[in-house]
């Protein structure tokens, strides 16, 4: 099932009395009002990276690529050729 808010795949949360689908990307829970923030323009990954500090950006890139944070930090600290 796709999330109506962000479009990512929702997972079934069985830790409640009644099982609900929830999106771990944006936090949407099945049956909740989506509110007006659904209709705001989406932020691109580039804009998100520009607003992060170095540690946050290293964690964001490492998680997206599936590599170790130390390797990403070393790559960012390396002098440009």
50 is in which domain, residue-wise?
Answer: 43-81
**Alpha carbons within 13 A on the beta-carbon side of 73:** 8
Positive or negative: CA dihedral 9, 5, 64, 15: negative
Long-range contacts of residues 32-39, Cβ cutoff 8 Å, at least 24 apart? 34/4, 34/5, 38/4, 38/5
pLDDT, average across residues 5-30:
82
Q: Read off the pTM.
A: 0.44
26-80 residue pLDDT tens: 878 887 665 555 555 677 777 888 888 888 889 888 988 889 999 999 988 888 7
DSSP 8-state symbol, 4: T
| Domain co-membership, 31 together with 48 | no
Give the number of other Cβ atoms within 10 Å of residue 25's Cβ.
13
**pLDDT at position 3 over 60:** yes
Q: What is the total count of domains within the chain?
A: 2
Q: What pLDDT does residue 74 have?
A: 92
| Domain co-membership, 33 together with 10 | yes
């Amino acid at each position: 099932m796709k999330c109506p808010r962000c479009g990512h795949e929702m997972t079934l949360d069985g830790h409640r009395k009644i099982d609900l689908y929830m999106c771990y990307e944006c936090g949407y829970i099945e049956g909740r009002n989506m509110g007006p923030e659904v209709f705001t323009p989406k932020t691109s990954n580039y804009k998100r990276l520009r607003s992060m500090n170095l540690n946050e950006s290293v964690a964001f890139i490492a998680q997206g690529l599936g590599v170790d944070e130390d390797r990403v930090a070393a790559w960012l600290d390396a002098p440009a050729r």
